[in-house]
Amino acid sequence: MASLNTRQIAAIGVMGALTTIATMMFAFPIPATSGYFNFGDAIVQISALVFGPIVGAVAGGLGSGLADLLGGWYNWVLPTTVIKGIEGYVVGTLAGKKEERTLQKTIIAWAGGSVVLVVGYFLVQIFMYGFAAALVEAPFNAVQAIVAGLIGIPISTALKDRLDII
């Protein structure tokens, strides 16, 4: 495996911090599962679409997990870190390299990441709270994924066109 370069390490730090902030600043609790609706996924998507799968995975996973840790959602730290890390990796991988990127690939990448988000949390919530509670939160996770795309796709497209990355 190739080592990370300085730009990737810096991107992980900045985007991870932004993910934590976006997750914690706009947290709307969902009582059925002790989860919460937030805007952190938009930053996970932006991280992956601008900087690629490794930065998307590490910044998204660690930033989201840290938000749960700092916010007191201790039972969610590990599941969130894994789910958001996989989401970031899937989005970055499906989007492909900058030279090959099209709007269609970007939308497919967002959709793939959205499936990871919704299915990942649904499975964990079935295990933790039961099927009925997981079913209550699934629509909130789907809306969170849609909002992530509505925010993340335009911002990442604008950033990627202005930054000399990947």
Domain limits for position 117:
6-162
pLDDT at 86: 98
Q: Are 73 and 34 in contact (CB under 8 A)?
A: yes
- The pTM for the full model equals 0.93
pLDDT at 164: 65
Does some domain include residue 141? yes
SS3 per-residue string spanning 25-92: HCCEEECCCCEEECCHHHHHHHHHHHHCHHHHHHHHHHHHHHHHHHHCCHHHHHHHHHHHHHHHHHHH
State mean pLDDT over 4-21: 95
Number of structural domains found in the chain: 1
Does some domain include residue 44? yes
Does some domain include residue 148? yes
State mean pLDDT over 119-147: 94
Average pLDDT, the chain: 92
pLDDT at 54: 96
pLDDT at 8 exceeding the cut of 70? yes
pLDDT at 58 exceeding the cut of 80? yes
**Which tens digit of pLDDT belongs to each residue from 134-160?**
999 899 999 999 999 999 999 998 887
The CATH number linked to 33 is 1.10.1760.20
pLDDT at 46 exceeding the cut of 90? yes
Does some domain include residue 30? yes
Does some domain include residue 1? no
**Which tens digit of pLDDT belongs to each residue from 67-100?**
999 999 899 999 999 999 999 999 999 999 877 8
Largest CA distance in the chain: 47
Burial 89-101 (b: 16+ CB within 10 A, else e): bbbbbbbbeeeeb
pLDDT at 36: 81
